[in-house]
Amino acid sequence: MSLNVEHHSVRALPSEKPIRLLDNAGHAVHGAAAGGFELPDVETLVELYRRMVVARRFDVQVTALTKQGRLATYPSAYGQEACEIGAISAIEARDWFFPTYRDSIALLTRGIEPGGILASFRGDWHNGYDQHAHRTASQATPLATQALHAVGLAHAARLRQDPIVTMTYLGDGATSEGDAHEAFNFAAVWQTPTVFLIQNNGFAISTPVSRQTRAVTLADKAVGYGMPGYHVDGNDVAAMYAVTHAAVERARAGGGPTLIEGLTYRIEAHTNSDDPTRYRHSRDVEHWKRRDPIERLEKYLVSEGALSEAARAEIADAAEAVAAHTREVMTAEAELDPLELFDHVYDRERASLLEQRARLEAELADAAMHAADHAGAAR
């Protein structure tokens, strides 16, 4: 493989009307509005439904645990399940995912344990799972920085003729960052197998998209980089899956990167420390709640006779089991070793860190001795 790729730069603007395969009432959409994409088969849709139901139950549970003080913070993805789950379901275990802090439910779908996903929000460590085992990078907090990692890893894999794809999620606010531009540009110039998903959920904390960009759609940005862009109804999991799946297949076949904008809405606050009533009207939230991604798919599957009562009950049970497991893990006291603070900074041993580690160790021993003395005196 060489960097001397054939350039097929793209000039077509994405459609202004978002691509949609299921409308709000759960009816199949055909023709131009479907953007040439086909509704996924019913087994795939049932699986996407299951994943979204489990994800929402998890999200609701974690928000509740945050209110109980079990987590320091939690950025909810309630209402964004179609974006989160549709896109992540389009990549395989061998592919790499580069998430942001809001993408916990995508990590859950990726098979990562709740305790691992939430370690950083609970405050145990900055990351709680094995990146290599799950082929999933840490949840990035600085905006758009992880998109460059996705491009770099994709390029390295391509040089090794390893047919994997990288996928990264960005928020609407992140598109204003320089690293978003650099990532889009590097990916397009190097023709890396990378899928960028911009989850346009309306707000960057409190700043609306209208104050973030003058572009008609965020997907329009793709044109300037010479890659395809798709503007998709982000509350339609069928469309999200179909469009990202096509982008993943194209990337895997050597067709380069794709930029996808999923148009959705953040129902909850930015995090538990946010007050969304200061910057948005409840009628907007109600409007978006009526466009719920799970209900939409459920209506379709029920109307198709593809979701029996028994199946729904079984899925609900599975979701409850995940919630129960999450409660169990997050209410147990974390076992932390302060001395581990020094263990992973460098691969090579560093004298100054060993000295500082010894100092903390002595302080801890001292504190333990005093505690024992006090306990003895109290008896």
Residues in touch with another protein (CB under 8 A):
1-4, 125-127, 130-132, 137-138, 142, 145, 147-157, 159-162, 166, 178-179, 182-183, 185-186, 189, 340, 343-348, 350-352
**What span, in angstroms and rounded, lies between the C-alpha atoms of 264 and 20?**
12
Closest CB to another protein among 101 and 230?
101
266 given a catalytic annotation: yes
Question: Least distance (Å) from another protein to the CB of residue 316?
Answer: 35
Question: Least distance (Å) from another protein to the CB of residue 168?
Answer: 10
Question: Least distance (Å) from another protein to the CB of residue 204?
Answer: 17
Cβ neighbours around 319 below 10 Å, total: 20
Pairing of strands 207-208, 203-204: antiparallel
Question: Least distance (Å) from another protein to the CB of residue 125?
Answer: 7
279 given a catalytic annotation: yes
Catalytic residue among 122, 231, 270, 296: 270
Cβ neighbours around 133 below 10 Å, total: 10
**What span, in angstroms and rounded, lies between the C-alpha atoms of 116 and 299?**
33
Tokens at 36, concatenated: 């040439």
Question: Least distance (Å) from another protein to the CB of residue 295?
Answer: 38
H helix or E strand, kind and range, residue 231: strand 229-233
Closest CB to another protein among 152 and 255?
152
Closest CB to another protein among 4 and 273?
4
Cβ atoms of residues 84 and 108 within 8 Å: no
CA distances for 37 relative to 13, 219, 226, 238, 241, angstroms: 17, 17, 21, 10, 10
230 given a catalytic annotation: no
Closest CB to another protein among 51 and 155?
155
Closest CB to another protein among 121 and 230?
121
Catalytic residue among 27, 211, 279, 350: 279
- What residues does 231 pair with on adjacent strands? 261
Question: Least distance (Å) from another protein to the CB of residue 227?
Answer: 14
**What span, in angstroms and rounded, lies between the C-alpha atoms of 323 and 55?**
9
H helix or E strand, kind and range, residue 96: strand 96-98
Report DSSP state, residue 20. Answer: -
Closest CB to another protein among 22 and 188?
188
**What span, in angstroms and rounded, lies between the C-alpha atoms of 299 and 312?**
12
Catalytic residue among 155, 266, 291, 296: 266
H helix count then E strand count, the chain: 13, 7
**What span, in angstroms and rounded, lies between the C-alpha atoms of 228 and 188?**
10
Catalytic residues: 266, 270, 279
